[in-house]
Amino acid sequence: MAIIANAVYVDGHRVTEPATLEETYEQVRRLHGMAWIGLYCPDPAELQSVADEFGFHQLAVDDTLSAHQRPKLEHYDDVLFTVLRSASYRDDLERVEFGEVHIYSGKDFVVTVRQSETPDLGAVRRRMESSPELLKLGCEAVLYAILDQVVDEYQPVIAGLQGDIDEIEDQVFNGDPEVSRRIYELLREVVKFMRAAQPLPAMLVELRAWYEKKGTALELQRNLRDVADHVERVVDMANGFKVLLINLIGINGTLVAQRQNDETQHLSELSLRQNEEVKRISGWAAILFAPTLVGTIYGMNFTHMPELHWKVGYPYALVLMLLVSLCLWVVFKKKGWL
């Protein structure tokens, strides 16, 4: 069912809940009240019926039917067309989920068209019905209340993003290798949230000028300024999150490079130590190889080896092995191998 709320108000009080849109049109004219109609994903015929009755511009109707609009505020004669993007935060997925509501407001009507479950317009209606003095101010008060609800729903998003950024900072300085991906993904969510919230300050400035032009009650104008202050803080914090995450990307890259340099230096030092060990082993192997070579040659005992019959052959071989080993030791010592 596209019509999820349909009531007529007189002097801030609900006086009737028509069963059909046609009854709503008739009773608004008869009672000189205000219609507040809530639609959820209406089909073109239902939306066109409301548009024909209250004089919506066709461009605004086309925007609503196509949906997926950016936040904006447009004037079509005496009809104000407002698009808002609500937001909620899924902390388990670290993802911002968005809703969309289109609001048509005029002299004696407010029509809201939602494309998702959020924002909670039921809460707005209950709040307004509990404050007849505020609701008596008409469509301007309802539009203010919807804006206030959307901005209030931004606060948990800011808190969720802040909590995850705090966790990311700890991960960065603890050297978590998975943190880079998390930073990029959260930065993407922050940017999407900024697209939803950033147009609101300019929209509220324009809306306040509209209210002043129409001579709207001063109390309502003050309430609208309060919403503007809240949304300014939200936008400033979102901008701060974006800058902080971008800085964390740079810091994380620096820390990763530093850790890689430290690892490279450690490997280089290890390689140098290994080279020194190899030099020592090679030097001692060469020193031991020289006597082994002499002993091996004369250990072959061939017939025609004149040195085998020398009386000084044995001491000569020993002295030769000792001299060769000593010479090699001196050479390797000078080169720093030993």
Q: What is the pLDDT of residues 84-135, one digit of tens each?
A: 999 999 888 889 999 999 999 988 899 999 887 778 888 888 999 988 888 8
Average pLDDT, integer, range 268-291? 75
Concatenated DSSP letters for 73-133? EEEETTEEEEEEEEEEEETTTTEEEEEEEEEEE-SSEEEEEESSS-S-HHHHHHHHHT-HH
Split at pLDDT 50, 70, 90, the class of 302 is low
pLDDT score of 209: 86
pLDDT score of 116: 79
Residues of CATH 1.20.58.340 domain(s) within the chain?
A: 272-334
CATH architecture designation of domain 272-334: Up-down Bundle (1.20)
Average pLDDT, integer, range 307-320? 74
pLDDT score of 267: 74
What single-letter DSSP state applies at residue 27? H
**Comparison of pLDDT for 288 and 239, the residue scoring more:** 239
Contact 84, 101 (CB under 8 A): yes
The Cα 102–Cα 287 span in angstroms is 92
Average pLDDT across the chain, whole number: 85
Each residue's pLDDT tens digit, 137-170: 889 999 999 999 999 999 999 999 999 999 998 8
The Cα 326–Cα 323 span in angstroms is 5
Residues of CATH 3.30.460.20 domain(s) within the chain?
A: 3-258
Query: In terms of residues, how long is the chain?
Result: 338
Given 3.40.50.300, 3.30.460.20, 3.10.520.10, 3.40.710.10, which CATH number is that of 3-258? 3.30.460.20
